[in-house]
């Protein structure tokens, strides 16, 4: 006969429903009992809705995160003879920053254990982008990951199932119960995996704007502050940059084309906004790893970052010299009038790329690596009537119509250039 449970889920739900603080031992039990299957989905749904409506105190979020970490394994990089630094982005459109960033930071002798995910909906996934490279594999064992960090210094791979299994179960529930937006649950979801990963330091790229998970700047800032506090309370040096995601990042939106753009950055070129954000995040990571004066620009210019990229791709069985997938069909959209591009909405362009096949509607759907959008202009650029604005790529020309529907009203051409907003709006630290 099994031992009786020490708490009752209904009491925990009532406490949060009434705006009360849930005692630490009861909250730890709730997470554990849900992971074990003792607390039912219906009960955890009620609890997450109460959190969405009433919030959680900082200490409650810390306990929730710690309980989710305790549901699985904790990795350790203590055997490495170098510091570790990681980056997490809350996701956006054209956000390929992880690709050039990991090898760039590794070029300075800092290990970068980048556990990444796949795209869903309008936001792209780092692993989907890298799988455009022939032979490259996302799945590594913990031993393979450690060996690659010791040798190459950077690894971008899928997270193992052993990290924070409570989060995987809870995230799926939040997705179907309208509670994804609860900041305490977003923060504990992201940070439970990052802390369990075992990195010494962490830089968060928290995005705001139309193409971001957090549309509202104030809520994005609240999320950044909550996650920085969680990392700090858990002994991980953590900072955050609040970055603009109203316009797609760079000129490429998709998979193979984003890899191509990332390689351009590593070769010392690439779009100015991608370079700016890559350099800003690299400086943050290197400062936390004890190198505040590292010359990041020099490592892009002299080929050190590119060398690290090539070694990283080869270590995961990819061929850095192989041609990337090319689309079967393309469609170019031109300017209806002369003027200045005043707006390109990140969400709408991300949705269009998804409809072209670059993203997935369900986790099990495949992606078309050659599908996507290549921008030929950005807001602030002057254009002439008939000039090419962007090119859609797909393997099936039947996809163009729905993608063009998504882009109806997604961009504007006016008479005067829009004000130039800073890409990195604010830095949040403990």
Catalytic residue among 71, 188, 189, 234: 189
What is the residue whose two structure tokens read 């909250």?
Answer: 27
Instruction: List the helix and strand counts (H, then E) for the chain.
Output: 16, 13
Q: Name the phi and psi angles at 412, rounded to 5.
A: -135, 145
Note if 89 is an active site residue: no
Nearest to 70 by CA among 142, 167, 164, 185: 164
Catalytic residue among 167, 233, 273, 374: 167
Is the Cβ–Cβ distance between 274 and 96 less than 8 Å?
yes
219 vs 226: CA distance, rounded Å: 10
Note if 328 is an active site residue: no
Nearest to 69 by CA among 186, 188, 233: 188
Query: What are the Cα distances from residue 138, in Å, to 12, 134, 146, 307, 338?
Result: 39, 12, 14, 20, 45
Note if 122 is an active site residue: no
430 vs 428: CA distance, rounded Å: 7
Note if 174 is an active site residue: yes
Is the Cβ–Cβ distance between 244 and 422 less than 8 Å?
yes
Catalytic residue among 16, 28, 87, 88: 88
Note if 193 is an active site residue: yes
Catalytic residue among 118, 169, 193, 221: 193
134 vs 195: CA distance, rounded Å: 32
Q: Are strands 382-383 and 154-158 parallel, antiparallel or unpaired?
A: unpaired
Residue 49 tokens read as: 């809705």
Residues serving a catalytic function are 88, 167, 174, 189, 193
């Amino acid at each position: 006969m099994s031992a009786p449970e020490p708490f009752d889920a209904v009491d925990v739900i009532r406490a949060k429903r009434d705006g009360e603080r849930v005692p630490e031992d009861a909250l730890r039990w709730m997470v554990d009992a849900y992971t074990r299957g003792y607390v039912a989905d219906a009960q955890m749904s009620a609890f997450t809705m109460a959190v969405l409506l009433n919030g959680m105190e900082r200490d409650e979020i810390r306990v929730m995160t710690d309980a989710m970490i305790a549901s699985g394994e904790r990795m350790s990089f203590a055997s490495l003879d170098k510091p570790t630094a990681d980056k997490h982005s809350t996701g956006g459109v054209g956000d390929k920053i992880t690709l050039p960033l990991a090898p760039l930071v590794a070029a300075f002798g800092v290990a970068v254990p980048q556990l990444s995910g796949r795209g869903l909906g309008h936001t792209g996934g780092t692993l989907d982008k890298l799988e455009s490279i022939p032979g490259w594999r996302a799945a590594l064992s913990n031993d393979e990951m450690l060996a690659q960090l010791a040798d190459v210094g950077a690894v971008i791979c899928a997270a193992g199932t052993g990290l924070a299994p409570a989060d995987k179960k809870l995230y799926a529930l939040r997705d179907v119960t309208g509670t994804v937006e609860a900041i305490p649950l977003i923060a504990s979801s992201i940070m439970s995996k990052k802390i369990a990963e075992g990195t010494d330091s962490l830089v968060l790229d928290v995005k705001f704007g139309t193409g971001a998970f957090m549309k509202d700047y104030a809520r994005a800032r609240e999320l950044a502050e909550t996650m920085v506090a969680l990392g700090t309370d858990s002994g991980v040096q953590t900072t955050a940059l609040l970055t603009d995601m109203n316009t797609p990042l760079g000129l490429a939106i998709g998979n193979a084309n984003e890899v191509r753009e990332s390689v351009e950055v590593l070769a010392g070129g690439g779009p100015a906004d991608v370079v700016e954000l890559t350099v800003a995040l690299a400086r943050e990571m290197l400062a936390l790893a004890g190198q505040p004066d590292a010359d990041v620009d020099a490592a892009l210019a002299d080929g050190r970052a590119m060398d690290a990229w090539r070694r990283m791709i080869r270590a995961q069985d990819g061929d850095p010299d192989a041609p990337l997938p090319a689309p079967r069909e393309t469609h170019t959209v031109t300017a209806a009038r002369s003027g200045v591009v005043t707006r390109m909405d990140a969400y709408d362009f991300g949705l269009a790329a998804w409809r072209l096949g670059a993203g997935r509607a369900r986790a099990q759907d495949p992606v078309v690596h050659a599908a996507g959008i290549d921008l030929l202009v950005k807001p602030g650029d002057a254009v002439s009537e008939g000039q090419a604005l962007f090119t859609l790529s797909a393997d099936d020309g039947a996809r163009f119509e729905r993608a063009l529907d998504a882009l109806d009203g997604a961009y504007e051409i006016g008479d005067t250039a829009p004000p130039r907003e800073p890409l990195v709006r604010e830095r949040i630290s403990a």
